[in-house]
Amino acid sequence: MERPKRADARRNHDRILAAAQVAVARDGADASLEEIARQAGVGSATLHRHFPSRLALLEAVFLDRVETLCSQARELAADPDPGAALVTWLRAIGAYAANVRGLAASLLRSACELDHAERSVTCHGKVSDAGEELLSRARQAGAVRPDVSVGDLLTLVNALSLATERHPDPCAETDRLLLLALEGIGP
């Protein structure tokens, strides 16, 4: 069982996370760890004690939004039109990925670098698990071909957000391209 953190350790953790959220919003997933530590008022070693890797820090930064996307998937699972529900959810993921520079690359990299057990507790794993029910329902309704996987769809969304990062309106362009691409996933 993990011991509770001391008050000063909790404060450091929270300050690092807050500084990372600001830095990632401004600079994307490749934000400087040294700058994050400086803005949090801690040393680099303290940052690495709390977040042993860039991926661990990014996972913590993205966790709240990922939880929201997962909650949205659970709510959409009750939608009477499973195909539309899946598209709505994928568009929400696309909008988020397009808004956070480097998120798509970071999530794709984490999906490739980790084994299956590790991947299931990451943001990518949580999003994949949340999308599984939506995809299953869409398949059963005949709205999606049986050979399409959640991994395929998330790769598509992430690739589109990567491709549109430098577009003047990356969210709108990601959404436009996603809708074009999703026309091809039906039966």
Q: What is the pLDDT along the chain (187 residues), one digit of tens a residue?
A: 556 668 888 999 999 999 999 998 888 888 999 999 999 999 999 999 999 998 889 889 888 888 999 999 999 999 999 999 999 999 999 998 888 766 666 665 555 565 554 555 688 888 999 999 999 999 999 999 999 999 999 989 988 988 998 899 999 999 999 999 998 787 7
Alpha helices in 28-81 (DSSP H): 33-40, 44-50, 54-76
Side-chain half-sphere exposure of 127, counting CA atoms within 13 A: 32
State both tokens at 103.
């998120």
Q: For residues 168 and 179, what is the distance between their CA atoms, to the nearest angstrom?
A: 19
State both tokens at 56.
């661990």
pLDDT at position 109, please?
59
State both tokens at 160.
């589109």
Q: For residues 95 and 179, what is the distance between their CA atoms, to the nearest angstrom?
A: 12
- Contact 50/14 with Cβ under 8 angstroms? no
pLDDT at position 19, please?
96
State both tokens at 173.
């362009």
pLDDT at position 4, please?
64
Q: For residues 80 and 76, what is the distance between their CA atoms, to the nearest angstrom?
A: 9
pTM of the model: 0.80
Q: For residues 23 and 186, what is the distance between their CA atoms, to the nearest angstrom?
A: 39
At 83, which helix (H) or strand (E)? helix 82-99
pLDDT at position 150, please?
94
